[in-house]
Structure 1
Amino acid sequence: MRMRKWLSTVGVASVLMAGILAGCSKDSSGNKDSEGSKESGKPVEVTLAGWGGNPTEEKLLKQVIEDFESKHKDVKVKYEVISEQYMDVIKTRLIGGEGPDVFYLDAFEAPALIETGVLEPLDEYVTDDFDVEDFEKPLAEAFIQDGKTYGFPKDYSTLALFYNKKMLSDAGVEVPKTFEEFREAAKKLTKDGVYGFGVAPELARMFWLGESTGGDIVKDGKANFASPEVVSALQPIIDMHNVDKTAAEPKEVGANWGGEIFGQGKSAMVIEGNWAIPFLADTFPDIEYGTAELPTVDGKHSTMAYSVAYVMNGASKKKEASWKLISYLTGKEGMETWTSKGYALPTRKSVAEKLGYDKDELRASLVAGASYATVWSEGTNLPIIMNNFNNQFLSAFLGKRPLEEALKEAEKQANSEIDSK
């Protein structure tokens, strides 16, 4: 998941809209797909941009594209990997009228880009056989704004509890089902240089917990994380680090992230996503671990979901061909191929069932969370809210100041920045 700050600038929406108006005109023949046509007999070339992935993922995507082209002889796909500063590059190209026809869009970035008007609404292209109801509802809704659909999610990951089977067995600890049990388990598991919980003290991982008791981290487009409900929900994480001494962030023990602190055996439990499974298989193949849905709070399940969609450039002159590509990539056949190795989870329920992920020993808990997850996407101001939260939450996590005080300052600063936009 790419969580970069949205670089808002005065006039960006109007500049992007001007690019659309300049690029949306049809060619003189009235044909929407001006490059290649039925008359010329040449296939329409559609550009597809993404940020790449590991070699297996790249191979899978190339296979999906080849399958698409074999079934749609009238369309040729030009795939481009943007490996650095992805969103900055995409925005620059959109402003310059040179954006790709189809491209990846992270749910985190979606609200701000949708607001500029550069994306093509997809509702009019959808046919009954596309089966929109098959998508996990929270994931699909992340790309809907004002009743219009601007993208269909290609994959996702939720968060699950990863636990070291041997450590729990040796300590006589059952897999915790509630947050109270989780905290007590962490106490019993913290010994001999091992922490019970390897934690990522950041909003992207804490959002679900902050809202677990009924609070709103974002309210009316503003930061609201200093509310009593949110502070009380997050306080246990601070206490696990500073009072119980049972939690540590990875860098405190020389690791880079949750998968590494867990794989190295320096924490008995972590909260991670699907991406940790292939990492652990490749890097720490001997570790015996299991996964479970996140501990409930007040009897309620919650988790986070991170998703990416395929979207269409509103200025594209090849909209019909672009939709053919999007509908295949996010259709049942294309999605099955793309997610067949388990590097990504399918956003379609039928595909998850067909591939057996809903019953998979390690992935079932991740799939189960998709139906009730909070998607990491909360309006156009989330980047500002996230940055201010992270700065001050970490200071409380490290024991430098009380959590309530830290979050009040962060909320004030975030809303000041929002007001001055």
Structure 2
Amino acid sequence: MSTTAPRTALSPARRAPRAGAVLRRLLWWCVLTLTGGVERRGTLPRGGCVVVANHTSHADTAALLATLDARHAPLIGAAADYWFASPWRRRICGRLAAGFPVRRTGGGLGDLLERTAELRAGRAVVLFPEGTRGSDGRLGTFHRGALLLAREAGVPVVPAGIAGTGRLLPKHGRLRPALVRVRVGAPLAPSAGPEEAREAVAALHARTVAEPLRDSAVRRRVAGLVARRGVLLAFVWACVEALSWPLMPELLLGAVCAAVPRAALRVSLAALAGSVAGGLLALHLAAAGADLPAPLTTDRMRAEARVTLEQRGAPAVHAQPWNGIPFKVYAAEAGRAGTGTGAWLLHSTAARGARTLGVGAAFGLLGFLLHRLRRCYGTYLVLLGGGFAVGLGLIVRGWA
């Protein structure tokens, strides 16, 4: 009978780093997903390894922690004179990035060789052999420390190319949305030299940068329309909807803000302005005795709006964003009830603002989070239109 211990059993000393690695991977995956998305191609080999990557941004560390396998419990080599120069930086680097200090002014090789036992135990050590962040997209000279560490531990060197972090968090720049991609290459022998490793990383980086992000032709056309006429279109759509048009501006916001998230605020504000302007016009037309067509509305909607306006005055419009009664019904009934212009303007702006800006922000956030899936924008439009039609049908039927 064999007396060998089960291979799947992990000692408490090995479980702790792996649990921390799982939490860090989840943390940074969530952060990068919220800032534009993160993708990985390739995997690390089994057992310990030294990962070498290009370095253009502080976000490179987050990209690797979010994508490398947690079973390797990656450790990140960090500049001792920067990340460990103060207690708060030391805590951030150690706890959130599993960083360990590497001196850049002498003694750095000794700092690296202290990780030999952890490599032999199956962990991954991540190093940026350039020693500092680049700013022009070109790789600098690779220092030998990472290669000497791999040779001493007898583990492979794994090249990795990172793209997108320079746009996400540029050197001396501000954070902005960007898709981050990591491509893990084939392992190199422990005897690999600095130039061989540099060429492997450069090739991976070039392939990752050159890989196009698939897009939808429909989304590109919508984006072009938004750039040229988005504000005007949103204003006119919302204005005529407040008078007679049956399709709510939220449908337009769903299409536009998801296609061009950066335009969500200005398009939503234009829709709000159009809705308020149309509501004021509908109020005065109704007060003058005009009776504009109002398709997809019912007598019960008009009766409900009339009763609440008589009871509460202009504040009754605050129920409109949630009860399914179109804004044009409230505007027309407010005019017939003699509601004052000032009170109507104040309360209708607040009511419509809560809904219009909220919907625009929600669809803008959706487009931002699903940036990587913009190739599916045509399908999204079909689902949006279908869902809107079903919802509108249910509302009209409920108020019939």
Compute the TM-score of the two structures, normalised by the length of structure 1. 0.18
Higher RCO, 1 or 2 (CA under 8 Å, sep at least 6)? Answer: 1
Question: Structure 1 or 2: larger helix share?
Answer: 2
Q: Which has the larger radius of gyration?
A: 2
Question: Structure 1 or 2: larger strand share?
Answer: 1
